[in-house]
């Protein structure tokens, strides 16, 4: 379709369309339209026809940059440090004391589940030295993206002789409730992912369970 230009270099009016009064300049003596500056804006140009390739103007040089991976890693590191510093300045990041307290809680929880595995082994007449259990963290705490009031998502990895319904929700719960630093133990067995919730030295814990098909649950270390 033929086009004729209006005021702007990127503004066009179809020749078959009726231009609003005053948008185009008057016809010159030669019969050609001469553009002139108008005191108001013209409507945007029509979209290109369907299937028309969107190419840069002729003569445009397109540079395709391939930054060095080390440079990108350094940029990410600096941005991460800047973001962490901002979180600390705003009080949205845990203090060093909070971090130490969480680490201590995880260490104590690992000792408790190891003792629990021995108790289960004794009940099942299995050599206690063979039965082990582990605690693995995941979620925001494991990623280092937690705040001062965030809970700790922890996974108890137990041996094949320790069942979810009895040994985890009953036996382990009784052991936890016997600890003075543990409070508010709740079992949520109907959840999509069954778990226990409690506070350990003031730190909120969401505790889930995974049962391995082996007695030595320390083999779960390969999933770290």
Residues 101-129 pLDDT 10s: 999 999 999 999 999 999 999 999 999 99
What is the percent of the chain with per-residue pLDDT over 70, rounded to a whole number? 70
Question: Which domains does the chain carry?
Answer: 96-223 (3.30.460.10)
Lowest mean pLDDT among 7-11, 139-143, 150-154: 7-11
Give 51-107 pLDDT, tens digit per residue.
Answer: 666 666 666 666 667 777 888 888 889 998 888 788 777 777 778 888 899 999 999
How buried is residue 195: exposed, middle or buried, by Cβ count under 10 Å (0-12/13-18/19+)? buried
The pLDDT tens digits for 1-59 are: 443 434 444 444 444 444 444 444 444 455 554 544 444 555 666 776 676 666 666 66
Residue 177 has pLDDT above 60, yes or no: yes
CA distance 62 to 22: 40
Cα–Cα distance for residue pair 116/122, rounded to 1 Å: 10
Q: Which residues contact 98 (CB under 8 A, 6 or more apart)?
A: 148
Separation between Cα atoms, residue 92 and residue 86, nearest integer Å = 8
168 DSSP 8-state letter: I
In this prediction, residue 130 carries a pLDDT of: 93
pTM for the model stands at 0.62
């Amino acid at each position: 379709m033929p086009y004729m230009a209006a005021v702007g270099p990127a503004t066009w009016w179809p020749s078959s369309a009726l231009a609003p009064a005053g948008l185009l300049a008057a016809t010159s003596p030669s019969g050609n339209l001469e553009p002139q500056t108008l005191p108001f804006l013209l409507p945007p140009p029509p979209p290109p026809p369907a299937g028309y390739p969107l190419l840069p103007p002729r003569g445009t040089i397109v540079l395709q940059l391939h930054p060095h991976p080390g440079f990108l890693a350094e940029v990410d590191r600096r941005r991460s440090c800047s973001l962490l510093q901002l979180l600390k300045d705003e009080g949205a990041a845990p203090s060093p004391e909070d971090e130490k307290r969480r680490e201590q809680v995880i260490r104590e929880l690992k000792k408790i589940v190891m003792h629990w595995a021995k108790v289960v082994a004794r009940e099942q007449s299995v050599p206690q030295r063979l039965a082990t259990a582990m605690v693995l963290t995941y979620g925001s705490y494991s990623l280092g993206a937690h705040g001062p009031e965030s809970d700790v998502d922890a996974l108890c990895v137990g041996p094949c002789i320790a069942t979810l319904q009895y040994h985890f929700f009953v036996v382990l719960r009784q052991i936890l409730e016997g600890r003075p630093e543990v409070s508010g133990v709740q079992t949520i067995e109907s959840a999509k992912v069954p778990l226990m919730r409690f506070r350990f030295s003031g730190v909120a814990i969401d505790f889930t369970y995974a049962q391995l098909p082996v007695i030595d649950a320390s083999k779960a270390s390969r999933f770290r």
